[in-house]
Amino acid sequence: MSISLTNASKLQNEIANAFADRHNAAVGKFDISITLKAQRCEKVEGFAISAKRTGNKIEATIGLTLEHALRYALNALRNWLETENSELELIDGPDFAVRGVVEGFYGKPWTHAQKLKGIEYFADYNMNTYFLAPKDDPLQRFNWRSPFTAEYLNETAELISHGKLHGIDFVLCVSPGLSVEYSNDADVDAVVNRFKQLTDLGASHFGMLWDDIAWEMQHDSDNAKYVSTAQAHADFTNRVWDKLVAYNELAKLTVCPMHYAGRGNEPYLIDLGRELKSRINLMWTGRQICSEYLDISDAVVFERSALRPALYWDNFPVNDGGMQVNLYIGPIRGREKGLHKYSAGLLSNPMLQFEASLIPISTIGDYLWNSQDYDPEISWEAALIKVIPNEVDRVALRKFFRTSLGSNVGGDPAPDLRQVFRAGVTAWRSGDMEKAAEIFEGAGKDIESNFQYLSSGKSTVPALISEITPWLAKYRVGGQALVGLAEVLRTCSYDKARMIITGPSDAPAKLEELIESVESVRKRLFGDQIVGPLNELAAELQTYSS
């Protein structure tokens, strides 16, 4: 079985072959014939599909304008093949123009193999962009003046080529701000020479990142020439831009400003936007570095100040720095419907854990494709299927992940456990200590059983299990604390007259031990569940127990 194309370009044939290889299990049982035609769609990367199924034969017509939009049409075709419908009529396209990932965290960068794998997943999520900007890559921030090494160029060439096969624009960045002399033409040339090396490999989009550097200019020559750091950033970037487009007139350049979070009307941003060439994109993280929400009203302020719409550097689900104790596994929330009308695009800054990041990134892809119909709960459940095809593994991991759903963009961290405590606390407040104990003991034993399976080595996603192992230790201790809570409750009684819980004198100390055991594992799970209720119960018993 195969995918055969009529009226296809060389690139489109390569895209179809790469898609068929990746999704052979889903499409390999069909004989798919597709006729391509030029068709203007309402959305830039839009497409129209008309398809019919007869047994294992699929005949389809796909209309589109851009070559790589074929990848999104093939995603839609694959989704249809998983249904029982014999015909498909669909016109579709993305909301956001730029949709993707910016690998921009502090910490060990993703491996080359992970980057290649990521490109394929991001394409499955209907994304089109992958920014390579890891903070701790020495070639990006510390040794930016040197030409790229042959090894780096070979790997980068593979990434660029792999991106083209899957409709992903691979974007290379440089962060010269730690040591740059803005007025020095030699530093401009150092950046341009790097961009030329990458252009020769097939790259056309580049990033100039001024984030996380000192506000003050460090060279006397710069202080003598520029009235502000914003002016220095604009002038240096413009000089790079002029030389870059002279080398490749189709080049694109995106800038991350030094002041990248706030209300969008800061003086630095106004000055930078006023002087920066109009074709250069500007990144922004929103009100905060990790913004709980991104909305249209702030986007409008930014655009009026910077004289261009924001390209969002969305710091979700990133967990670098002081956030490394968190596993942000839940869906994207707090991004307004229709935001695409007031922004240039959105890029997700993911976690250090590559495999785990694929789950929330899938939900981001859904939001970026269709913000109006995006439902975080439905999208998250679909993401689990994409990343964890095996049902047994998916059920087990879903239970675990639902103790870590909350994040810097909101959401209940542990909704299932919250229901356990709601039922358990209701039982003990009504005086039924045994029922409460049974509820907590059952939940604790269920966690232990799930932990044993996830730690057994039987999983079909061992790389994902390896990444989350530190949190699995916390998961197990939480389950043990629930069983311990049940044991304490069985020693307690309820004073109906005073509507209080009483127990033996050592009960508070036992609860304190449980709390300490949970908190001894530094990774965060369960939100405010477990430790919060145990502290409240311990305080009550300490006050009223014998």
Beta bridge partners of 173: 207
Domain 415-544 in CATH 1.10.3470: no
213: its two tokens:
């550097």
- HSE-CB for 2 with a 13 A CA cutoff: 5
In a 3-state reduction of DSSP, which class is residue 203? coil
Cis peptide before 317 (omega within 30 of 0): yes
CA distances (Å), origin 174, targets 144, 190, 253, 281: 7, 10, 11, 15
Write the CATH number of the domain with boundaries 98-387. 3.20.20.80
- Token pair 């498909």: residue: 88
Task: Give the span between the Cα atoms of 523 and 348, in whole angstroms.
Answer: 23
pLDDT in tens, 504-528: 999 999 999 999 999 999 999 998 8
Task: Give the span between the Cα atoms of 474 and 517, in whole angstroms.
Answer: 9
Task: Give the span between the Cα atoms of 460 and 454, in whole angstroms.
Answer: 10
Q: In the chain, where are the structural domains located?
A: 3-92, 98-387, 415-544
140: its two tokens:
């990006």
Instruction: Write down the pLDDT at residue 545.
Output: 63
523: its two tokens:
């990774």
Instruction: Write down the pLDDT at residue 436.
Output: 95
CA distances (Å), origin 293, targets 4, 251, 266, 474: 44, 32, 19, 29
**Encoded amino acid at 284, one letter:** W
Instruction: Write down the pLDDT at residue 149.
Output: 87
Instruction: Write down the pLDDT at residue 1.
Output: 55
Instruction: Write down the pLDDT at residue 199.
Output: 95
340: its two tokens:
């695409």
- CATH label, 3-92, candidates 3.40.50.300, 3.30.300.30, 3.30.160.230, 2.60.40.1180: 3.30.160.230
pTM, to two decimals: 0.95
227: its two tokens:
């009235």
Of 246, 256, 158, 125, nearest to 195 by C-alpha is 246
Instruction: Write down the pLDDT at residue 497.
Output: 80
Q: Are 97 and 44 in contact (CB under 8 A)?
A: yes
CA distances (Å), origin 544, targets 215, 362, 487, 502: 57, 50, 19, 6
CA distances (Å), origin 149, targets 202, 203, 446: 17, 16, 52
Instruction: Write down the pLDDT at residue 45.
Output: 96
Low-confidence ranges of the chain (pLDDT < 70): 1, 407-410, 545-546
HEC letters along 395-424: HHHHHHHCCCCCCCCCCCCCHHHHHHHHHH
